[in-house]
Amino acid sequence: MKNRYALIISVLLTLLLVFALFSCGKADVVTPETTPSASGTEGVDTKGETADNFYDETAADPGASEDTAAPETKALETSSAGKETLVVYFSATGTTKAVAEKIAKITDADIYEITASEPYTSDDLNWHDSSSRTTKEQNDKNSRPGISGEKLSLKGYKTVYVGFPIWWGEEPRILDTFVESYDLSGITLIPFCTSSSSGIGRSGKNLAENAGSGNWLDGKRFGAGASESELRSWIDSLK
Ligand SMILES: Cc1cc2nc3c(=O)[nH]c(=O)nc-3n(C[C@H](O)[C@H](O)[C@H](O)COP(=O)(O)O)c2cc1C
């Protein structure tokens, strides 16, 4: 009887041992399975690195992203439909752009954005800094910042609205680059600007003088978010 109990116990112990060994084996198998999973985690990390690198690359070469974006901003909806009105504008932070787009909509005009060959950064636009790019340009009446993209064809246009922000009370010098690049004979030019508070001042006259051609009308200043009805009544007053 004792032997029978001993046999049963030893069989049970053996079974327990086999079970324990099996369990350990299983755990070992799990570990390698965890490894790919860990390498999967590495994969996630790698993705993370890739993403970081991606952003780093973009940050390290802002010019590259600007170059990539440039063709879009340079896009000119030319007078393909035989339109006689064109809205040309320069806008560093989007305020003038919004007004220009409304004018183009109201007048059913083509629209063209003047973009700088060397885009203006926020440091460039810092008017608190006496040595910033814009401060230097505005202090130099002969400064003529470059314009990117192909030269515009003004053929067929009779009226051109010319929009810009006020910088130090005047037109940004890149507008002078623009008007000096074209023969504006036979075209009526209508300046408009946006500003925090300053009026258009001498800007329109400066542009007319520097252009040396074209029939320049008096311009008008608008605040940010000028309404369509405000713009429409101004446009109607020009007729
Ligand atoms: C360099 C610089 C100079 C500025 N000078 C004037 C100024 O003399 N008077 C004014 O009312 N606003 C001034 N502003 C404000 C802009 O005219 C105004 O924010 C404008 O609507 C910006 O237009 P944008 O977004 O099309 O570039 C200046 C802005 C900058 C960046």
Using an 8 Å Cβ cutoff, are 130 and 137 in contact?
A: no
pLDDT of 220 over the 80 cut:
yes
What percent of the chain clears pLDDT 70, i.e. is strictly above it? 67
Q: Is the distance from the beta carbon of residue 198 to the nearest atom of ligand 1 less than 6 Å?
A: yes
- Which residue of 73, 162, 196 sits with most ligand 1 atoms within 8 Å of its CB, as the best mutation to test the pocket? 196
Q: Which of 87, 131, 140, 167 to mutate to test the pocket of ligand 1 (most atoms within 8 A of CB)?
A: 167
Which atom of ligand 1 is nearest to 95's Cα? 25
166 CB less than 6 Å from ligand 1? yes
pLDDT of residue 28: 31
Average pLDDT of the segment spanning 31-41: 31
Geometric angle at alpha carbon 152, from 149 and 154, rounded to 5°: 175
Over residues 139-143, the mean pLDDT reads 98
Looking at the domain 71-237, which fold is it? Rossmann fold (3.40.50)
Distance CA 158, CA 57 (A): 46
Give the CB-side neighbour count of residue 19, counting CA atoms within 13 A: 6
Residue minimizing CA distance to atom 22 of ligand 1? 165
How much is the pLDDT for 225? 87
Average confidence (pLDDT) over 124-128: 97
Residue 14 vs residue 22, higher pLDDT: 14
Q: What is the pLDDT of residue 41?
A: 31
11 or 154, greater pLDDT: 154
Ligand 1 pocket check for 165: Cβ under 6 Å: yes
Read off the DSSP letter of residue 150: P
**Domain ranges (residues) in the chain:** 1-60, 71-237
- Tell me which residue has its CA closest to atom 9 in ligand 1: 198
Please state, in angstroms and rounded to a whole number, the distance separating the CA atoms of residues 157 and 83: 7
Tell me how far apart the alpha carbons of residues 164 and 131 are, in angstroms, rounded to a whole number: 22
Mean pLDDT of 140-167: 97
The token pair at 46 is 């790698």
Q: What is the per-residue pLDDT for 81?
A: 72
Q: Which residue has the higher pLDDT, 185 or 30?
A: 185
| Ligand 1 contact via 85 beta carbon (within 6 Å) | no
Mean pLDDT of 102-110: 98
- Which atom in ligand 1 lies closest to the alpha carbon of residue 166? 17
**pLDDT at res. 2:** 56
Q: Is 121 in the pocket of ligand 1 (CB under 6 A)?
A: no
pLDDT in tens, 54-105: 222 222 232 333 333 333 333 344 555 789 999 999 999 999 999 999 999 9
What's the whole-model pTM score? 0.72
Q: Is the CB of 225 under 6 A from ligand 1?
A: no
pLDDT score of 183 more than 80: yes
Output the pLDDT for position 109: 98
Q: Give the Cα separation of 88 and 111 in Å (integer).
A: 6
Is the pLDDT reported for residue 51 higher than 60? no
How many C-beta atoms lie closer than 10 Å to residue 200's C-beta?
Answer: 22
Mean pLDDT of the chain: 78
pLDDT of residue 10: 62
